[in-house]
Every structure is written in C-alpha cells, then in structure tokens.
Amino acid sequence: ERDHVIDLLLAAVLARVHVFVLGPPGTGKSALASAIVNSIEGTTGFTWLMSKFTTPEDVFGPLSLQALQQGRFERLTTKKLPEAHVALLDEIFKSNSAILNACLTLMNERQFMNGTAVVECPLITLIGASNELPDGDDLEALFDRFALRLSIPYIADPDNVKRLLSEKNVVPAATMTLDELVECQNDVAAVDVPDAFLDILVNAVKPKLEEQGVRASDRRWQQIVRFLQAYAYLDGRDAVTIDHCDILADLLWRDPSSRAAIA
C-alpha cells in the first residue's frame, strides 16, 4: 500500500526537491528514508526526532572546542544534517525557530553557515514528517519548501497487515551508486517541457486552481515543473505531457482534505 508513495519519493530524489509526510507514528516514514539511503551507494542519511528540547547541536553538530580556543564559532558537522544526502526530521514543526531558520537556507540553497564560512551541503532530499499540519504564519515559509506532500495512513488491507507481521525486516542492498544517481538527475533536467504544455499549465490549470483558492508561490511552481520532469522520466518519457498532471494534487494541497478537489 506504499507503491504511490515510493514512486513519488523516487521522483523527489531525482528532482532534488523536499518532501512533507503527514501521518501518525508507526507508518514507516523513517523506513522509507532509510531504504533510499541503503539503495544508493555513497549516500549518507540523517534522522532526528524533533521536539521543543532539540538543540542546534543535535541537528548541526557540537561546537568545536579547538575553534573556540582560537576565537572562532564553528560546529563539527560529521554525521549531522549539513553532511547528509537524505534526511528525515520527524515531528519537524515541533522544533524551535533557531533550528528551523537554519533549515530554510539549507533546504533552499543547500548551504550551511558554519561560523563565518558558507559550507556547501550535499543534501538531495529532506523529508519532514509530522502527525499534524503547521499552525502559525511562522511555519509557512518552511512548509512551502516541501514541494511534494504525502499523507500516509496505517496499512488497511488485512492481507497486507498479515504480510507485514510475517515478513522479516531486510535491509535493502544498494542498487545504484551516487554517481549514477547524479547522471539520472542530469537526464531529468534534460526532459523537455514543451511550450504547449506550459501554455496549458499557466493559462488553464493555474487560473482554475486559483479560482478554487488553491495558490502556490513562484518558487513552488518552479519546483512543480522540475518534479514533473522527474515524474515523466520515471514514466520513460522524454517530455512532460498533460497526462503527468495527475500528480499535481500531491504537489499543491495545503490540507489533505482538499486533495480530491484539486485532483
């Protein structure tokens, strides 16, 4: 019951966009992130359960005592978010503003300010998970960074529940390297977005959605087109077509209750 979620997560990795996952605890959100890291040789992952007690040291690394002795404010980022290719921040909206503000730049520019140095980060995709939607204008900038939004319920079919309980957990073996992933991402960037398609998107789809109160930022529309290129690539196509707009509902909802109307 995760085929759709997996397909879209893979497209997000190919498009280098971030993913918001809404769902109760225990629906396999961290397992999905780990599966991506384990499947791509050369990638590193970072997972953290956020709370109001989470500190910058937990996410970005402890302060370097050696640097402090020399009058510099620097962090040791080894095995922390600034060095991760794929990250999962669970209960992301529960963290404090100091962490969230640093995440905004890291997600958008793939950069981390470490002391006076701007560090380029290898982040491909950050998965922000929560069992609730953001509440408050101060979280909207962060929420807008997530191009793909998925709602994951518990497994419902009794046969699938039985399979879940009977199967052993197996760590997936790597099926590709990081260099091969980069090649695929370059191929995604080459997927054609025809002017005729953009005309339909800009002059028909976007105005119709806005009439229904569904609006997206300029940055979000750029991310949507990039995601559509990745979705078409996974579909074996060399150009985006109107058929690929079936996933727009997963890119535009603010509340999952509006997904059906957008679709």
Quick one: pLDDT at residue 71? 83
Interatomic CA distance for residues 1 and 35, integer angstroms? 16
- The answer to whether the pTM exceeds 0.95 is no
Quick one: pLDDT at residue 76? 95
Which range has the worst mean pLDDT, 44-48, 96-100, 168-172, 191-195? 168-172
- Residue 21 near residue 128 (C-beta atoms within 8 A): yes
Please list, residue by residue across 62-81, b when 16 or more beta carbons sit within 10 angstroms of its beta carbon and e when fewer do.
ebbeeeeeeeeebbbbeebb
Task: Please give the average per-residue pLDDT across 232-244, as a whole number.
Answer: 95
- Residue 71 near residue 37 (C-beta atoms within 8 A): no
Kindly report, residue by residue over 142-161, the tens digit of the pLDDT.
999 999 999 999 999 999 99
Quick one: pLDDT at residue 97? 84
Which pair of structure tokens corresponds to residue 140? 């909207």
DSSP 62: P
Q: Where are the beta strands (DSSP E) in the chain?
A: 18-22, 40-41, 45-49, 86-90, 111-114, 117-120, 125-130, 146-151, 176-177
Q: How far from 2 is each of 27, 132, 250, CA to CA, in Å?
A: 10, 20, 14
Which pair of structure tokens corresponds to residue 34? 């780990």
